[in-house]
Amino acid sequence: MTLLARAGRFLVERQQGLLVALLVVLHLSLLASPGDRLGIVWWLVDVGLFMLWQPFVHAERRLGFSSFSAVALIVGAGIWGYGSWLLMLWTAFVAALVGGRVLFVSHRGTRVFYLLAFAYLLTAVLFYLVPRVVPGPGDAEQMLSLLFMWGAPIPLALMAIMPVRLPAERKAAGPVDFVYSLFVFLLVAVLVLGSLAFMVIQRTGYIEALFATIAVMGGMLLLLGWAWNPRPGFGGVGIFFSRYLLTVGLPFEQWLHRLTELADEIREPAPFLDRALQQMLDLPWVEGGEWSAGGEEGRFGVESHFSQEFTVLSVRLVLHTRYRLSPALVWHFRLLTQLVAEYYLAKLRERELEQVSYLRAVYETGARLTHDVKNLLQSLNNLCYVAQSLDEARSAEIQPLMQRQLPLIVQRLEQTLDKLRRPRGGVGPLASAEVWWAALRERYETLGVRFAADRCLSETLLPTTLFDSVVDNLLQNAVEKRRHEPGIEIEVVLSEGGRAISVLDTGSPVPEHVCSNLFGAPVTSSNGLGIGLYHAALQAEELGYTLRLVENQPGRVRFALNPR
């Protein structure tokens, strides 16, 4: 037993020699007489070699009682029904398995190796076994038998000396395409039965019937290949086959329609996912399932003996089915699970966007109020500076100035608090351009800012909230720049009858990297948050104005607020 075990392990590790040995022993069993017991012995040895070579289960695996009983029953039935028909079925079966391995081979030499094996097996069926069972084959049987006996060993000899590339770690269950193997087996069966049909119907010899069957099958395969993907541009059989795979058991369009309805009906991600997966209970195979996603779990239906797990994106689904799912249905359910997962992920992103929008609204409101309060504080600082700078001779001017400016500051503070209650409060209060211009000059003339207006302003009304916010931001930035660049001049010009205003300074230009995002996003600032002009531009756009940097040259930097 030890010697046999070593010999078996030696053959398992050398797949090339194992397949050649299998075919050589099969050749010996074919050459034996149908009633000869030696042929049965050779066939049993061939079955043993096949069990070592077969691509279904591990060759090193120990057989249990049920597996051994099944193998013994098959071998016993083969011994009882041994003959030409059994050898024909056995050879066609091995040919189908060999043909099923060709698709998984990329090395040219290995592919030729398997093709030679398939050619030998097909020759054995058509040239040797079929003529033995055909009634009245005539001289064709003897001629084909001689061709097989002397010509068939040639591919076996070539296979024995060919270099074959096999994987470093040999898997006992090698790759075999079951559908392709079944297709090859059916082609061999049609070829045999077609030849017999031609002999009976046309009353011709076996060779003529064989060539006629090959010609008809070749024409049908060419026609099928053309119908699968026709050239003129219209869809062929391949499209209908793909549509069948997509709609097996559940139309693809209906599933999308249901998901769309649920997506419109349910906004929360977890309830949507639970309802969408519960719809799988309408399928005849599904008994229930369990899902988990984003820290939440759920279940539907009942458990069963068969289950299949799908993990797509962040969704994990364990589907309990009434029967074991076929590969096509597994692919189909994976596609449906991916659709549900994509919708679930979209729901999560939608909720995150809502939260981000809410936080952005809170942020923008707080940022605007912060800058308004900052501007008010700057106005109070200016008044304090004026009050401290006046000497005793001019102290009488302080009280009128305070009477004019303090009510305006109180009014702006009330407007700021009103923004807190109504972030999108519309245009806001309107005031005479002449009155607003006079108050602005009183606040900033003491800081060395020049003012110029091109015409009468008494008939013009302007949104004071917008103009205060924009001009205060621009002037504070210009005054801060003058602290770093002493000697620059600052000028404010009110034009177009009070509908437009610009602030100009003679300092250095704004850097290029700052200009690109000056009004589109917050910019880097060394003395603040860098969002003053950004929010001023947003406020101007809401009220129908545009805030732009119209000049940016050394000695001439000008910002302008104009109506659209």
- What is the full DSSP assignment across 75-97? HHHHHHT-SHHHHHHHHHHHHHH
Say what the pLDDT of residue 334 is.
Answer: 85
Decide if 387 contacts 400 (C-beta within 8 A).
no
Per-residue pLDDT of 258-314, as tens digits, reads 788 888 888 888 888 888 888 888 777 788 888 888 778 888 888 888 888 888 888
Q: Give the total residue count for the chain.
A: 564
Strands 449-453 and 490-495 come out as parallel
Residue 251 φ/ψ, nearest 5 degrees: -60, 135
Q: What is the mean pLDDT of residues 494-519?
A: 81
pLDDT at 350 exceeding the cut of 80: yes
Q: Which residue has the higher pLDDT, 428 or 165?
A: 428
Q: Give the domains, in start order, of the chain with CATH numbers.
A: 2-228 (no CATH), 247-358 (no CATH), 426-564 (3.30.565.10)
DSSP H/E element including 122 = helix 108-123
Per-residue HEC secondary structure of 184-245 comes to: HHHHHHHHHHHHHHHHHHHCCCHHHHHHHHHHHHHHHHHHHHHHHCCCCCCCCHHHHHHHHH
> Bridge-partner residues for 401, per DSSP?
none
Q: What is the mean pLDDT of residues 493-521?
A: 80
Q: Band the pLDDT of 171: cuts 50, 70, 90.
A: very low
pLDDT at 150 exceeding the cut of 60: yes
pLDDT at 57 exceeding the cut of 60: no
Residue 446 φ/ψ, nearest 5 degrees: -70, -15
Spatial CB neighbours of 229, under 8 Å, sequence gap ≥ 6: 236, 238
Per-residue pLDDT of 302-342, as tens digits, reads 888 888 888 888 888 888 888 787 777 788 788 888 888 88
Decide if 521 contacts 511 (C-beta within 8 A).
no
Q: What is the pTM of this model?
A: 0.48
Q: Band the pLDDT of 475: cuts 50, 70, 90.
A: confident
Q: What is the mean pLDDT of residues 514-520?
A: 72
d(CA 146, CA 152): 10
d(CA 241, CA 223): 17
Q: Band the pLDDT of 540: cuts 50, 70, 90.
A: confident
d(CA 381, CA 446): 12
Q: Which residue has the higher pLDDT, 93 or 259?
A: 93
HSE-CB for 198 with a 13 A CA cutoff: 21
Q: Band the pLDDT of 385: cuts 50, 70, 90.
A: low
Query: C-alpha angle with apex 130: 125 to 134, nearest 5 degrees?
Result: 175
Among 168, 225, 208, 345, smallest CA distance to 273 is for 345
Q: Which of 4-18, 128-142, 276-290 has the lowest mean pLDDT?
A: 4-18
Q: Band the pLDDT of 399: cuts 50, 70, 90.
A: low
Q: Band the pLDDT of 393: cuts 50, 70, 90.
A: low
Per-residue HEC secondary structure of 422-462 comes to: CCCCCCCCEEEHHHHHHHHHHHHHHHCEEEEECCCCCCCEE
Say what the pLDDT of residue 172 is.
Answer: 40
Q: Band the pLDDT of 46: cuts 50, 70, 90.
A: confident
Among 447, 414, 445, 440, smallest CA distance to 429 is for 414
Say what the pLDDT of residue 398 is.
Answer: 65
Long-range CB pairs of 480-489 (<8 Å, 24+ gap) are: 480/527, 481/505, 481/507, 481/508, 482/507, 489/450
Q: Which residue has the higher pLDDT, 497 or 157?
A: 157
Decide if 134 contacts 213 (C-beta within 8 A).
no
Q: Band the pLDDT of 167: cuts 50, 70, 90.
A: very low
Q: What is the mean pLDDT of residues 371-379?
A: 67
Per-residue pLDDT of 461-474, as tens digits, reads 888 778 877 888 88
Per-residue pLDDT of 62-83, as tens digits, reads 666 666 677 778 778 777 878 7
d(CA 359, CA 536): 19
Q: Band the pLDDT of 426: cuts 50, 70, 90.
A: low
Per-residue pLDDT of 219-241, as tens digits, reads 888 887 777 666 655 556 666 66
